[in-house]
Copies of this chain bind each other. A is one copy, B any other.
Amino acid sequence: MSTVAPADDAHPDARVRAVFDDIRTTRGSDFINNFWRYLAFDADLLEATWAEVKRVMATPSALDPLTKEMIYTAVSVANGCGYCVHSHSAAARAKGMSAAQYAELLAIVGLAGKTNHLVTALQVPVDPIFDADATVRQS
């Protein structure tokens, strides 16, 4: 159940088809997942979002691809986005996440959920040592 209709491969807008092509080339797979098919209701939004995902997630960088997907999954869980949890858990697996790593990811996410709630309940004040800004001003 969605608020817009998905785009199929024969979409009349050449910009939409070009993004789909680039997704396929970048991923080396013919599969286009639903996020892109629904986001295609607006070519600007599709192009800009794909460009950012490609730059942040599909470019060699200071973090390895699996770590990136686990971070993405963790945020998606905390934000309660079911679709995103599915797609990034699947991506993490595709990039080599083992069953043990997945269990550990969940243990950390669950523990963070718990301590985040405890800290907020107690309104714990930030230790002065954590303040990077103060550190700089003092030096």
Interface residues of chain A, those whose CB is within 8 Å of chain B, are 1-6, 31, 33-35, 38-39, 41-42, 44-45, 48-49, 52-53, 55-57, 61-63, 67-68, 70-90, 98-127, 129-137
Contacts and interface: CB of A to CB of B under 8 A. Distances in A.
A13 to B, nearest CB: 13
Nearest to A105: B71
Label chain A's interface by main secondary structure: helix
Nearest to A118: B110
Q: A-B pairs with the 10 shortest C-beta distances?
A: A78-B78, A113-B117, A42-B103, A5-B136, A75-B112, A114-B114, A86-B130, A62-B100, A81-B116, A80-B80
A37 to B, nearest CB: 8
